[in-house]
Structure 1
């Protein structure tokens, strides 16, 4: 019986591949049989992860690029094609929040750091669109493939403090649906686009907001736990199953969807 969940023979690019969630993404893709392009700005981490995969019998290549710089993305695409000759999938994992995009409760709402909010929104929106323009075109030349964007709980609900991130992920959701339709209009069912919406997972970007150095949760972290029916944060590896499904032929009739992996956060009314 054919395994439609397998990624054997597929070449998948992961932007943000040097981050915490990116590590789970690339490991999951390799475990499912795929070759992976680890794209990020941190050369040391990208090369270490690629070397470890190659030494263990997998296939990986480090791609050093900024997702907001189209020339660097094009160079990375050429490097990937020179190595593997094709691109079958893209995971737009780059994004996140920044300190300058955070509005604290004691700060004036009418004197927000607008440049900071814009910067955060830009990396999440254009950091998704630009890689799709480059690697999506390569997927189209391959003839068939899947693109997975990374959404967030912030895209559908008002999460305090992080307006730029909220707006950025809301725009990613709009793009996810719009572009999925346009892909279908032009390529039929050959190229699909979907989104994975993680709940609260601890990363280097949010650890200080959610946890205390001495252990335990901040007030904000406790609020998240109360709002999550599973009463815990997610483990990055718990994103792998949904990601591999969206990249594989097992989800062949799925496009424009947003899959929540959130411990129930998005459905809980709080009472």
Structure 2
């Protein structure tokens, strides 16, 4: 039996009521609801087994959730979440859509609880590379945000950290970097200098080159989807992915730089 509280059942019911209303399951008809469970999960949702709560689509789903283990319930709920997100995107601009998005937040939290606490985001690439109180406070604040499982809050400061990091890496090579020079330009200069200093595998060089455009997009994230301004911030799962991706690049840079100074 899935470990679901009554409040979580209500959250699921409220979220799947969009767009047809309470008592429905998203926009499924009886036929498509049956096909969905057969095709996706090999479950005969219209069997007698799943009529313990009633025979409507909503009640059959609840009956299934009461009987399924956590892993199976999670698989179904994740799929319903993805379908709901697709429907929301198709109804962009519809009156009441904002309320529907809010109704989905408790549903998302049910999924997160069932799948356990998300893995913490590594900060292996974040380091105080110079004696600078501002840098020390920046790194400490990033670590606090991640410890609280709020990578979306750390996005702005991660961008600032990267600006300082690549400005420093250029400075120690005697390369000037203007205060108004954007992050992707700083990184582009750094990559060009790096490949002139040492032989890199083709894959590594391509990966570094791809980060020029990634960091250009990161500029937009910082300006329009972080706490740098009055923005709607990213979802936690997406911020976690973005932070982890940039951290992986910073880890590689740290390793390359350690080898350079050791030599």
TM-score when scaled to structure 1? 0.23
Q: Which has the larger radius of gyration?
A: 2
Give the strand-richer structure, 1 or 2: 1
